[in-house]
Amino acid sequence: MTNFIENQKWRYATKKFDANKKVSASDLETLKEAIQLSTSSYGLQLYKVFIIENPEVRAQLQPVSWGQSQIVDASHLLVFANIVDVKENDIDAYVQNIADTRGLSVEDLKGYSDFMKSKIVPLPVEQKAVWTSKQTYLALGNLLNAAAELKIDVTPMEGFEPEKYNEILGLNALGLNASLVAAVGYRHEEDATQHYAKVRKPKQELFTTI
């Protein structure tokens, strides 16, 4: 746990990445597995993660990301896209995965399946979209923690135009919406932000015991 806390003190939202340093394929796989293992409501994982390596695509995304340099300079750019309108087939696919993984029949899981459908499918689309977008932040947390352990920098980013991302990446046709972006790579030695003292609320202000 000591290492975990020290890693959290080490990480920060990198403002300037070293464009010449790339995350290795093995480390990228570790980060992907960390995201894959993230918690999510019901375990449904109602999102997809796009790993943008193509420099031309990233050049298109930069102007609709407030011109931020991390978009093009980071080793990799991850776009978390939530499913906008959860339907029965999304739940059916999850239930089938449970059955396959645990050696069960789909019929064995019918009660759980029907319960999820009754709670999720009837919701207004807007409410479903908000809920699924929140799930991407849970996955982001795992990415941040795993990356810090590997001494890889991650900058979570909400400063972008989702509708433009959806257009450039063709997400609308997939029933997806860009909910958040994470630039992944290595801090540039010229990024002065890395030397700033970390500013957080004191524990006595942040926590209340009842």
47-76 residue pLDDT tens: 999 999 999 999 999 999 999 999 999 999
pLDDT score of 8 more than 90: yes
- Looking at 64-201, list the stretches that DSSP marks H as alpha helix, in order from N- to C-terminal side: 70-73, 88-102, 110-120, 125-149, 162-169
Report d(CA 143, CA 125) in Å as an integer.
28
CATH class of 2-84+124-206: alpha beta
Owner of token pair 């801090």: 187
Contact assessment for residue 40 and residue 135, using Cβ atoms and an 8 Å cutoff: yes
Residue 178: phi and psi, rounded to 5, are: -70, 115
Amino acid at position 13, single letter: A
Name the residue ranges covered by the structural domains of the chain.
Answer: 2-84+124-206, 87-122
pLDDT value at residue 105? 97
127-172 residue pLDDT tens: 999 999 999 999 999 999 999 999 999 999 999 999 999 999 999 9
pLDDT score of 113 more than 90: yes
Question: What does the pLDDT average to over 12-40?
Answer: 98
Entry pTM: 0.96
